[in-house]
Amino acid sequence: MTETKTILICEDDPMLSKTLRDACVTEGYAVEIANDGEEGLKMALEKKPHIIFLDIMMPKMDGLTVLNNLNTQQQEPKSKIFMFTNMSETEQIAQALSNGAAGYFVKAQTPLSDILAKIKE
């Protein structure tokens, strides 16, 4: 029997969180949602999800800070982290990728089917 993969969505937009959660649950994944960076960091360390979608602009702690904290605090095996944001500035993309993010999705430009395809990889 294969283990159900867990996805953590760190996103402060409730509609976007729900849409992504519903799509992932339909595909058979267990999904947790954090509404701000502090909650996301805590949940990531406690629940050790397989994949994390991490918004950059969030209340309490931004996504890049969460990413840096996870790099120093997370035990092996580490979660695969995808930055999930509306920002498309190359500086932030480069910073996220150089700090260990596995990928970077611009919300307004990425169809849900592309996100689900990346999860399945």
In a domain, 115, yes or no: no
* pLDDT of the residue at 89: 66
In a domain, 3, yes or no: no
Dist. CA 63–CA 95, nearest whole Å: 11
Least confident span in 29-38, 87-96, 97-106: 87-96
CATH number for the domain spanning 94: value is 3.40.50.2300
In a domain, 91, yes or no: yes
Structure confidence by residue, pLDDT tens digits, 74-100: 776 778 888 877 766 677 777 888 888
Cβ–Cβ < 8 Å for 67, 94:
no
Domain count across the chain: 1
**What range does the domain containing 65 cover?**
9-110
Predicted model pTM: 0.88
Dist. CA 37–CA 76, nearest whole Å: 21
- Closest residue by Cα to residue 83 from 111, 106, 104: 104
- Closest residue by Cα to residue 60 from 42, 48, 86, 45: 42
SS3 label, residue 80: strand
In a domain, 116, yes or no: no
